[in-house]
Amino acid sequence: MVPVILEMRKRGLEPVLCTTAQHREMLDQMLEGFSLKPDFDLSLMKPGQSLNGLSSAIFSEIDKVFDKVDPEVVLVQGDTTTANIIAQAAFHRQIKVAHIEAGLRTYQKYSPFPEEINRQLISRLANWHFTPTTKATQNLLKEGVHDKTILQTGNTVVDALGLISGKIDQNELASRLNLNFTKFQKLILVTGHRRENFGEGMEELFKALLELARDKKNLIVFPVHLNPEIKLTVEKTLQNISNIRLLPPVSYPELIFLLKNCDLVISDSGGIQEEAPTFKKPVLVTRDFTERAEAVEAGFSILTGANSENIINQALKLLGTPPDLENIENPFGDGKAAKRIVDFLESHAF
């Protein structure tokens, strides 16, 4: 969303930024990296909060924001519960909704959970749909969404990479993260946070990482999500392995630094599947299904599921014989998505 906000400000528009403050530290790091401050910070997140409890709180609090702001359009991005509930709340008040990163689908109700149903529901409510790829556009057309309401823009995550990657100071970030790459031949970046991988899925991932860590030429860097269910189990299993570095959640520049320098990514993140192609990095996706099939088709991503044997076999293959990805373009955009979105909004919404 950041590139869209910055593009709107550049044109003299007045975007109002509202957050629910999921994972406070991670949110604040991201906003600070782009010198942004929320106009409304609902600060709704509580430890152990259920999806229903969160949804109820969002419905209650967003009405107060709408009363103060009376927006002409509400922009929601992606497939979070926040995006879904705020889209519904706007619809209840007959406020127009524009969905950024629309049309992604696995058509598997519980994979990813709850994101797959969140984004399908938003598509039923939205007035305008900004799709990142042809496949996403086709998904919406097949579902009966009118073509005049769809604009294929590319994904704004590629815009965000362009805003920040040129500002990265390699030495400063290596020092900040206390990483010395010279002692290792391969760097493996790992992330994990999807609800469907809690429990057995995480155990399978840990089993694979312990096996890959037996080769002391590999350095495994794992920025650990703040969700207590993830954090406690990661630390319990992986904390004392010499070539596994557990980091607190990293800032966006730090994440880009790690992506630039790694040899392999192991992740269940949708965003990383879109970011890694910019840096020509292969990703093992620890899920059974992905809504970013374009990355698989282009050769950047491989689906392993949360299966330790699959993860180990594919990781060893990619580390031993790195794929040639240099001449393959990022299938998720050219870095001009925000401009296309704001052009459209200026002619249709304001």
Residue 220 and residue 310 in one domain: yes
Q: What is the pLDDT of residue 251?
A: 83
Annotated catalytic residue within 7, 101, 116, 204 = 101
- Give domain status of residue 63, yes or no: yes
- Give domain status of residue 51, yes or no: yes
Contact of 20 with 45, CB cutoff 8 Å: yes
- Give domain status of residue 163, yes or no: no
Annotated catalytic residue within 7, 99, 115, 275 = 115
CA dihedral 129, 134, 135, 141 (to 10 degrees): 50
CA–centroid distance for 41 within its chain: 21
Percent of the chain having pLDDT more than 70?
96
Residue 307 and residue 337 in one domain: no
- Give domain status of residue 215, yes or no: yes
As for how many domains the chain has, the answer is 2
Residue 199 and residue 140 in one domain: no
- Give domain status of residue 108, yes or no: yes
- Give domain status of residue 185, yes or no: yes
> Which two structure tokens, joined as six digits, stand for 282?
């292969």
Residue 20 and residue 150 in one domain: yes
Annotated catalytic residue within 99, 193, 292, 340 = 193
Residue 294 and residue 344 in one domain: no
How far CA 285 is from CA of 47, 131, 192, 296, in Å, comes to: 28, 22, 10, 9
Q: What is the pLDDT of residue 28?
A: 82
23 is catalytic: no
- Give domain status of residue 304, yes or no: yes
> Residue 27: which domain range?
2-155+333-348
Residue 282 and residue 149 in one domain: no
193 is catalytic: yes
pLDDT in tens, the chain (350 residues): 999 999 999 999 999 999 998 767 778 877 887 889 999 999 998 878 899 999 999 999 999 999 999 999 999 999 999 999 999 999 999 999 999 999 999 999 998 999 999 999 999 999 999 999 999 999 999 999 999 999 999 999 999 998 887 778 888 888 888 888 888 999 999 998 666 556 688 889 999 999 999 999 999 999 987 666 677 778 788 888 999 999 988 888 899 999 999 999 999 988 899 999 999 999 999 999 999 999 999 999 999 999 999 999 999 999 999 999 999 999 999 999 999 999 999 999 87
Residue 184 and residue 72 in one domain: no
Residue 83 and residue 134 in one domain: yes
Domain containing residue 88: CATH number = 3.40.50.2000
Annotated catalytic residue within 23, 176, 195, 348 = 195
Return d(Cα 321, Cα 241) in angstroms, integer.
26
Annotated catalytic residue within 99, 105, 129, 225 = 225
Residue 89 and residue 39 in one domain: yes
Q: Which residue has the tokens 């600060």?
A: 43
115 is catalytic: yes
- The pLDDT tens digits for 81-137 are 999 999 999 999 999 999 999 999 999 999 899 999 999 999 999 999 999 999 999
